[in-house]
Amino acid sequence: MKTQKSLRLILTLALSFTASSVFAVEGIDDSNHTALAEYYEIIAKETEAKLQQNKAALEEYEMHPYYYGRQGQDFRSHTVANIREYEAVLEESMNNAELHREMLMGHDNSAINKARINLDQDTSVIR
């Protein structure tokens, strides 16, 4: 009984450490909001290009469904699913980029406020 509980605890901890690294952006520090915003904007641009390709393919299918034969319905449903997925990724990337831009603006303002506070103080300590 005790071994099962300890084994579950160890597995849960191991899984939580690996799960947190899944959501981290590779090679970019979490506090570097400029780089993170640019990263998400690049992802959004790439996703937008893929989305447009899939929309063009779907439009081509809609205009000429007889070119595709029996596989046409599979092609159509697969393309529609891709479009839905790319739209979701695009929205998420744009939201993340906007979030990091806002966080960057918040950090800039707090640095300015701290500088003003330090200038107002009459202390002999050099900071």
Query: Would you write out the chain's pLDDT as a tens digit for each of its 127 residues?
Result: 677 777 676 767 666 655 444 456 777 887 888 999 999 999 999 999 999 999 999 999 999 999 999 899 999 999 999 999 999 999 999 999 999 999 988 876 655 555 555 555 555 545 4
Whether 126 is in a domain gets the answer no
Determine the Cα–Cα distance for residues 47 and 75; give it in Å rounded to an integer: 20
In a domain, 75, yes or no: yes
Q: Six-digit token pair at 45?
A: 């641009």
34 Cβ partners below 8 Å, 6+ apart? 100, 104
The conformational region for residue 27 under phi > 0 = left, psi -120 to 50 = alpha, else beta, is: left
pLDDT at position 59:
97
- Domain assignment of residue 113, yes or no: no
- Give the number of other CB atoms < 10 A from CB of residue 80: 13
> Do residues 72 and 61 make contact, with C-beta atoms less than 8 angstroms apart?
yes
**Residue 1: inside a domain:** no
- At 5 the pLDDT is 72
Residue 111, domain member (yes or no): no
Task: Report if pTM > 0.85.
Answer: no
CA 90-96-100 angle, 5° bins = 145
Domain that holds residue 62: 30-105
At residue 42, the pLDDT reads 96
How open is the CA angle 9-30-22, to the nearest 5 degrees? 45
pLDDT at 127: 45
Specify if 53 maps to a domain: yes
Assess if residue 44 is contained within a domain. yes
pLDDT at 30 (0 to 100): 79
| Number of compact structural domains in the chain | 1
Contact yes or no for 72/107 (Cβ under 8 A): no
Q: What pLDDT is attached to residue 109?
A: 63
72 in a structural domain: yes
